[in-house]
Amino acid sequence: MCSDISFLLGLVLLIKGSFRVSNREVPKRIGRIVGLVLMSPPLITAIYVFLVVGPRGIFDEAVLVNIAFVQIASLLLALSVAGYLVFSLPQTASSTFPQSPATPRYNAVMTPAEVADYLRISEFEVIALIEEGKLPAARIGGEYRIARSAVDDFLTSRGAE
């Protein structure tokens, strides 16, 4: 029964290819390999039955125990290999969590709009902080430019107040 489920799951993965599991993106190539691996236990059992029982055609208790052992062993091996293939892939970042202000997507030098996004305040509040002298900035071509390190220092000093 478990081999049949493994075979059907493997068939679906072989057709589908890529999938996502446990915060990992599995590409088509590896997804199809996982599918083939999961399809192998019933095939291994069938080959064993053909080779062992085929010539004799007799199913005695010892043969049935051996078939069950081969089926369980091949299923455990297939699940282990499939698990290794999937869980050896790196985890991908989850998009369900909000990004923290310290994410590296911000440049070393930012515009007031970028600082506003970084601090999650309005652009007008950023300009007010600059004009009050609380946030150091340089005026380049009539526009303010703020070093990210200055923004981080501003945040640190605000926390100390």
Of residues 31 and 94, more confidence is placed in 31
Does residue 99 belong to any structural domain of this protein? no
Task: Please tell me the predicted confidence (pLDDT) of residue 1.
Answer: 66
Does residue 97 belong to any structural domain of this protein? no
Asked whether residue 9 falls in the same domain as residue 77, the answer is yes
CA separation for the pair 126, 85 (Å, rounded): 49
Task: Please tell me the predicted confidence (pLDDT) of residue 148.
Answer: 92
Over the stretch 81-138, which tens digit does the pLDDT of each residue have?
988 988 888 877 655 545 555 555 778 899 999 999 989 899 999 999 999 999 999 9
Does residue 135 belong to any structural domain of this protein? yes
CA separation for the pair 59, 133 (Å, rounded): 90
Report the 10 Å Cβ neighbour count for 56. Answer: 9
Q: Is the pLDDT reported for residue 13 higher than 60?
A: yes
DSSP H/E element including 26: strand 24-26
Tell me which residue range forms the domain holding 74.
Answer: 2-87
Does residue 31 belong to any structural domain of this protein? yes
Does residue 100 belong to any structural domain of this protein? no
Does residue 152 belong to any structural domain of this protein? yes
Does residue 140 belong to any structural domain of this protein? yes
Nearest to 36 by CA among 18, 19, 11, 16: 11
Asked whether residue 11 falls in the same domain as residue 79, the answer is yes
Query: Domain tally for the chain?
Result: 2
Report the 10 Å Cβ neighbour count for 3. Answer: 21
Quick check: helix, strand or coil at residue 122? coil
Give the tokens for residue 26.
Answer: 């599995």
Asked whether residue 6 falls in the same domain as residue 74, the answer is yes
Asked whether residue 142 falls in the same domain as residue 78, the answer is no
- The DSSP symbol for 108 reads S
Nearest to 75 by CA among 49, 53, 45: 45
Asked whether residue 117 falls in the same domain as residue 40, the answer is no
Asked whether residue 127 falls in the same domain as residue 63, the answer is no
Pick the range with the lowest mean pLDDT from 24-38, 60-74, 90-104: 90-104
Specify whether the CB–CB gap between 35 and 82 falls below 8 A.
Answer: no
Does residue 129 belong to any structural domain of this protein? yes
Task: Please tell me the predicted confidence (pLDDT) of residue 92.
Answer: 75
| Chain center to CA of 113 | 32
